[in-house]
Amino acid sequence: MIESPSPQILFEQNGFVATITIARPEKLNSVTAEMSAALVEIIEAVNDDESVRAVVLTGEGERAFCCGSDISTLDKYPTPWSFRNRADYCDAIRACRKPVIAAVNGYAFGGGLETALSCDIRIASETASFAAPEIKLGWIGGGGMTTFLAASIGASNTALMTMTGDPIDAQRAEKWGLVSELVPQADLVARAQEIAATIASRPPIAAETAKANVRAAYNMTQEEAIRYERDLQTITFATADALEGRAAFAQKRAATFRGL
């Protein structure tokens, strides 16, 4: 069982699904350097643990998913260069090889929005809101804000969010494609875990490969993406799980996938 090195980053596992909770609700789940380091450590453990096949990421309480870095701690970095090279929580989430579902339960502001964007699937409570407010403080996001927003909601909407810093509500986020679905607050984590459990029931090599393929698709030309996808298909087709899937289909029975 994976243990969290921080009381402000909670980890629990049910079956093949792990749930990571950012647990600093009194500070709107803003992240400290110590919390970032904990997330890095947990994700490294998740990547090495075959018993984890999918991850849910959420925030504690009803007010905030995550409001990014704790601004009061930023001046503790001795130089801007040390700030640039810090252990970053968004980088940690993107380093996860397992599919990650964000359950956005409130404010996803600044680095919190980048954290949600670093996940593969985003669902949100009906009262969630999203913002890139860094410009109001004199800087811009640095955790993938612009590239991931543009891939999700288009250039014009990205410009609107990053240049004004003003929030959008959950309904607009869904309309723009920033989140896949809206769920009542009380049902949010359960719904995210349901999606994660569905993914975890699939062949894990194929699920991780599908994740890698999605990420690659918007970094390649269309022809390159098709060739890459075909190569990945060939790799997964040769796995024992794919053989089991074909056998189960022919025998009209449920498949048992082992990650082989």
Query: Same structural domain for residues 158 and 190?
Result: yes
Query: Do 16 and 52 fall within a single domain?
Result: yes
Q: Do 32 and 148 reside in the same domain of the chain? A: yes
Distance of CA 113 to CAs 58, 76, 208, Å?
12, 23, 23
Decide if 1 is inside a domain: no
CATH number at residue 144: 3.90.226.10
List pLDDT tens digits, range 7-40: 999 999 999 999 999 999 999 999 998 999 999 9
Residue located via tokens 């980048």: 114
**Domain span at residue 147?**
9-200
Same domain for 27 and 103, yes or no, is yes
Is there a single domain that holds both residue 227 and residue 125? no
Indicate the number of domains in the chain: 2
Give 167-202 pLDDT, tens digit per residue: 999 999 999 999 999 999 999 999 999 999 999 999
Statement to judge: residues 224 and 165 lie in one domain: no
Task: Indicate whether 61 and 86 sit together in one domain.
Answer: yes
Helix (H) or strand (E) holding 21: strand 17-22
DSSP letter at 133 equals: G
**Given this model, what pLDDT does residue 85 score?**
65
Residue 258: inside a domain: no
Residues 6+ apart with CB under 8 A from 233: none
In a domain, 259, yes or no: no
Indicate left, alpha or beta for 135 from its phi (over 0: left) and psi (-120 to 50: alpha): alpha
Same domain flag for 113 and 80: yes
Note whether residue 257 is domain-resident: no
pLDDT digits (tens, 9 = 90+) for 79-119: 777 666 666 889 999 999 999 999 999 999 999 999 999 99
Please name every residue paired with 168 in a beta bridge, in sequence order, or none if there are none: 130
